[in-house]
Structure 1
Amino acid sequence: MIRFLLLLALVLSFNNSYGQLGFCNGSKGDPIFQEDFGTGSGYGPRLAAGITNYSYVTQDPQDGEYTISSIIGREIPSWHSYSPNLTPSGGKALIINAGFTAGQFYRTDISGLCENTTYEFSAYLMNIYNSASGACADGDIPVNVKFQIWDETNTQLLKEGSTGAINSTAFPLAEEYALTFKSAPGQNNVILKMFNNGEGGCGNDLAIDDIIFRSCGDLTSIDAGNSSNMNLRVCEEDTPYNVDLKATPDNTVYQTHAYQWQRSLDAVNWTDISGANQSNYTVVNLVQSTYYRVKVAEDSINLTNNLCSSFSEAFFVQMVSVPTAPVSNGDVVVCGNSEIPQISVKAGVDEMVNWYDAPSGGNLLQAKSFNYQPDVAGIFYAEAKSTLIECKPSSRTAVKITLDNIPDVEDETIQICPNSNISLDAGVSGFNYMWSTGENSKTIQVTQQGNYTVEIATNLGCAVTREFTVNDIDDAQISDVRTDENSIEIIPVNTGVFEYSLDGVNFQDSNVFLGKPGGVYTAYMRDKSGCNTVSLQFPYISPLKFITPNGDGYNDNFILRGVETFPSSQIMIYDRYGKLLKASNGSNFSWNGTLEGKDLPAADYWYHIKIEGFGELKGHFSLIR
């Protein structure tokens, strides 16, 4: 089947010279006769005897020859080199190189027509000479074809018409031509003839395809009162339903009209309605969606043959069901101070949703939306309605938004004594708990430092997480005890939260003690969690920082307060060069800054104190003159 799809021009009207041609302006039936010249890639097959007096060739034809092929212009370069598009299976066309003498070149018998019926004959024609080739120096001869329809006796011409000049083009151009005729009573066969009105020579070469005969009838419309758009919608609650249908032909073809109404549930399989043979038909007690159409013919005898009649478009009486309740996409729980979210439902095809504040009646909150955005929590109701017709709405579906308060909690850092345990408490009661350890109680016991979390959840699923950081407490360790003439300072090894004491009973946060008399002391240090306590015994002797031996009674002598508590101690005084200036025991030590009765110069001097059981204490002081 050829289509010449580069450009298709439907010739719908002609001037007075070719007034006999014209298309069916009404309803067209299925083809009674169709010649598409077959498919394939080769030449042929040859036409049956008697169809043409032209010679058949298996190449591009010369004057007075024809071929059947899917390719134009294989050997003749002045023709359009074109595959006349052919259907996907490779359609062919009849290719004619007109003879030098004008006359008939095609004849075929058409059978199976219905009597007293209007028909349309049509065919596609294409001038295959390429005007851009310049092969016809003096101009090419246009294609001009005359169609004739004769009765089967070949004695009565029923209709004829000519295409007029079909001029050559620089690109392939196919045009469809047609004429209509009416069969007489008792007439079932006709003869189609085609004539070349031009003469052979340069040009006048053509391709023909898709020769079709089909019935032509009135365009018939159906209306049902106020519904004239071929569709009537009825609410399901209004069934069974009665409706009057009226068929109205446009009277462009038929002079008389015979009717047969049909019904279908799928618009594919149709059944005649017994006795429905008038232009009007009343549908009674309809309870389901149904299609109706009317078959129209000019003679009632032709109603039994679909090829001899025409059909109206299908008129659809559609039963619109009561919508089912919308399906909620889920109730929503809003946790804490989160924003109120949008809620939504699903509904059926051709349905819309309205939102209300009550299960029935109430106020319309939002129309025609599957979604609703509330401002507050609560219960909202979705109702489905048909978008096709105003019918009974569905029952309403409740969608609930619940506010779920969650507790405020803070993370916590906790100190733990090494090799001990501690209780971690979620801190709020009446919730569901899930610890990072896998436990689900409000409190848990842990023995190791690390990070622990607990998810505190409500019964509705809102949750908050609290984190505990558990650190091991550093052991209390004394690095040293530093003393001077009026203070004792306990020096820890590490930093931490410790407290200090010199008697093991009275503890203080400060590690410095003031105004203590000389003697043997024990320094105590412990962490405030009570993990461990350490102690260190030390002697406390308070030396003067400087002496001014000028006889005024103040700091005239270097003394060591408290050394008297260590009578067996050994005390040595040295100058900066290491010369021993005085040696004594601790029973009653004092030095006035002289050596062998002579005043020593102002300078720094060093003392060494050896105390049995405590080792040696060293320091220096200044002598000021």
Structure 2
Amino acid sequence: MHPKSFYFCLLVLCIGSTELSAQLGFCGGNSGDPIFTEDFGSGTIDGPALPAGTTTYNFTTGTPNDGSYTISSTTNYFDWLSIQDHTPGDTNGKSFIVNASFTAGEFYQREVTSLCENTSYEFSSWLINLQAAGGCEGNSIPVNVRFQIWDETNTTLLAQGDTGSIVANSSTEWQQYALVFKTEPGQTSVILKMRNNSNGGCGNDLAIDDIVFKSCGDNVTVSTNTNEQRLVVCEDQGGVSRTIIATPDFSIFNTHAYQWQQSTNQQIWTDITGENNNTLSTPAVTATTYFRVKTAEDPINVNNDLCNVVSDVFDIIVLPIPAAPTSSGDVTVCEGEIGILSVSTQNTYTVNWYDADTGGNLILANNQNLETTSAGMYYAETNSTEIECASTTRTPVTLTVNPLPEVPDDTFAFLCEDSFITLDAEVENVTYLWNTGETTRLIDVSAPGEYSVVVTNINGCSDSQSFIVEQIDLPRIESITSDGPSIIVSTSNEGNFQYSLDGNMYQNSPVFEAVEGGFYTIYVQDNANCGVVTQDFFHLVIPKFFTPNGDRVNDLFTPDGLEVFSTISFSIFDRYGKLLKFGNSNSSSWDGFFQGNQMPSDDYWFVIEADTTQFKGHFSLKR
């Protein structure tokens, strides 16, 4: 196990056990490659049975009862947890499944050979309690296993440790346990034993997997005298080298022998001839190379992979000069649009944008896409995300910005009622699309509203123009009245109207003053020349008052305009309805007398019958 994993695994061990022997523990330094591994194979058929002498338990290919075991890819027995084996990547992987005997005692023993004498090793194994929480009506016997390492004579106990009670908790997580031991001088094998500390019965059911033996030595770090633990350089820096130092922590070994190695893939390692000290001046490196050192307590063991440990790895990573990025193509946009220039490169690289093919100014860093509205040529350069290691060339990408068609400003137009107007886009050599669906430069419209046209030039660039069309309604004469000598025209709608009595001379006021009585045609038009409306009107001038005082000024009440009628009757009444005067065409005035008497100042009423038309009103007599 890697030394940095020690504290994590120790924490896991403590969680999984309520009682931990002081001798259980992992290698506190560097480990070698696995020397012995038992993962119990894979497949859907139970077995094979362990070699003779490995266990006193009975082998079964079915459900293991107390004092029995099986080698199987399933744990789906009784009410046990159903779990997979521990071995990573296994398909139908098997584990050693044990139903403890009623009597505590040893259930597994095997010899591990080909070790080195007087050398420290780490034994480890993964274990799990198969009983679910609540099993055995809450009285499940906990798992408690003792691991032992004996010398090859089976007389000297080198190390042992107990898992402590592992209670049923329905966890499907395997737990790892380990022992560190040292072989005896002159001995190259040990005996591994496992013992149940608890009696069997309801509970004490377990599975074991991935038994591993590794050499165990000091934690050996490798770094430069400036504490660099790796080096990343660019290919264009040429051959680089470093003096690296191996530093053991003396946690296991008292003395140290070294053999430096190098590799290009961390799979195949080659000894560097003559490099047997704790320092190494690396050769000039032009391609990625890894360095480590094998360490043993005795020089005779340093090249025996069963006895040595390997240090941390010192990397000299040589980054190849990246190729220039690949352009996604030049981009053309219309004025006002954002152009997105894009290039692609490997995921391990980044892209920087410049305004020149060499040197120049950095425009945007760490992005494969550049967004801009400014036309021109831009240059993309590939670079490493770790250090400055750029492509030797830059990829040009051009942004072309085409102008929009020049359209007039938005236009206000006026439409005469019951008419039409022609709207003109006023742009040549373009295509047109009106919001009415029409596609010509000119369109006729006969309804007020907002009209718009999109014009598109030969570059595919478009702009739009709006037309606000307002309708001018014809005047609608509501009434024409006489007010003394004045004619007053009223319309039912509003507008910039003009008024005329002859159709030639127009005035802005709807009141014609000092008009003689008679028949008239009234003309009303809007000043936008949208048309004229007319209405005939008889203007009868009724004086509002008269003053019969003999000064020959306004002495008579005489309506003006009656002469155009053939027959006339003329009646004057006081406020009580008394007839004071009756006349005809020859006598259509009143002097203010009744039966020779002057009538007093007061309001009086008239009724005039002119042909088929009747006029009524009142006036004042003032003295």
TM-score, normalisation: structure 1:
0.67
Distance 1:105 1:520 in 2: 137
Paired position in structure 1 for 2:5: none
Paired position in structure 1 for 2:610: 610
Relative to structure 1, the CA distance from residue 516 to residue 37 in structure 2 (aligned partners, 3 Å threshold; closer, same or farther) is closer
- Are 1:24 and 1:216, in contact at CA under 8 Å, matched by a contact in 2? no
Following superposition of structure 1 onto structure 2, how do residues 392-471 of structure 1 map, counting pairs within 5 Å? Answer: 392=390, 395=394, 413-424=412-423, 435-438=434-437, 444-454=443-453, 466-471=466-471
Paired position in structure 2 for 1:390: 388
Give the secondary structure class of the aligned counterpart of 2:236: helix
2:542 counterpart letter in structure 1: P
Paired position in structure 2 for 1:153: none
Following superposition of structure 1 onto structure 2, how do residues 452-491 of structure 1 map, counting pairs within 5 Å? Answer: 452-454=451-453, 466-471=466-471, 473-491=472-490
Q: Percent identity?
A: 26
The gaps in structure 1 that reach 5 residues or longer are 76-80, 134-139, 151-155
1:468 counterpart letter in structure 2: I
- Are 2:101 and 2:200, in contact at CA under 8 Å, matched by a contact in 1? no
Give the secondary structure class of the aligned counterpart of 1:237: helix
Q: Residue deviations 1:580-609, cap 9 Å, x none?
A: 554444456422133443445644221304
Distance 2:566 2:407 in 1: 68
Distance 1:144 1:538 in 2: 129
| 1:529 and 2:540 correspond | no
Paired position in structure 1 for 2:517: 518
Paired position in structure 2 for 1:498: 497
Q: Residue deviations 1:442-479, cap 9 Å, x none?
A: 765433333213458998968565341332x3334444
1:544 counterpart letter in structure 2: P
Paired position in structure 2 for 1:572: 570
RMSD: 6.2
Tell me the CA shift for residue 610 of structure 1: 0.8
- Are 1:145 and 1:197, in contact at CA under 8 Å, matched by a contact in 2? no
- Are 1:146 and 1:194, in contact at CA under 8 Å, matched by a contact in 2? yes
Give the secondary structure class of the aligned counterpart of 2:34: strand
- For 2:53, which of 45, 50, 55 is the aligned residue? 50
Give the secondary structure class of the aligned counterpart of 1:178: strand
Distance 1:554 1:354 in 2: 105
1:545 counterpart letter in structure 2: K
Paired position in structure 2 for 1:160: 157
Q: Residue deviations 1:523-574, cap 9 Å, x none?
A: 22223232322333444332222234343434332112344x4374413114
The gaps in structure 2 that reach 5 residues or longer are 1-9, 87-91, 136-141
- Are 1:261 and 1:281, in contact at CA under 8 Å, matched by a contact in 2? no
Paired position in structure 2 for 1:178: 179
- Are 1:86 and 1:92, in contact at CA under 8 Å, matched by a contact in 2? no
- For 2:151, which of 131, 137, 149 is the aligned residue? 149
Relative to structure 1, the CA distance from residue 404 to residue 174 in structure 2 (aligned partners, 3 Å threshold; closer, same or farther) is closer
Distance 1:370 1:141 in 2: 58
Give the secondary structure class of the aligned counterpart of 1:534: strand
Distance 1:442 1:530 in 2: 26
TM-score, normalisation: structure 2:
0.67
Tell me the CA shift for residue 360 of structure 1: 5.2
- Are 2:324 and 2:382, in contact at CA under 8 Å, matched by a contact in 1? yes
Q: Residue deviations 1:214-254, cap 9 Å, x none?
A: 3426666666897842x432313345x46578695859669
Tell me the CA shift for residue 26 of structure 1: 2.8
Relative to structure 1, the CA distance from residue 392 to residue 82 in structure 2 (aligned partners, 3 Å threshold; closer, same or farther) is closer
- Are 1:261 and 1:277, in contact at CA under 8 Å, matched by a contact in 2? no
Distance 2:228 2:587 in 1: 136
Following superposition of structure 1 onto structure 2, how do residues 328-343 of structure 1 map, counting pairs within 5 Å? Answer: none
Q: Residue deviations 1:428-455, cap 9 Å, x none?
A: 9999975423457776543333321345
1:437 counterpart letter in structure 2: T
Relative to structure 1, the CA distance from residue 496 to residue 107 in structure 2 (aligned partners, 3 Å threshold; closer, same or farther) is closer
Relative to structure 1, the CA distance from residue 534 to residue 403 in structure 2 (aligned partners, 3 Å threshold; closer, same or farther) is same
Distance 2:19 2:242 in 1: 40
Paired position in structure 1 for 2:617: 619
Relative to structure 1, the CA distance from residue 222 to residue 10 in structure 2 (aligned partners, 3 Å threshold; closer, same or farther) is farther
Paired position in structure 1 for 2:4: none
Relative to structure 1, the CA distance from residue 525 to residue 397 in structure 2 (aligned partners, 3 Å threshold; closer, same or farther) is same
Tell me the CA shift for residue 175 of structure 1: 6.7
Give the secondary structure class of the aligned counterpart of 1:543: coil
- Are 2:68 and 2:98, in contact at CA under 8 Å, matched by a contact in 1? yes
Paired position in structure 2 for 1:28: 32
| 1:7 and 2:15 correspond | yes
Distance 1:283 1:10 in 2: 52
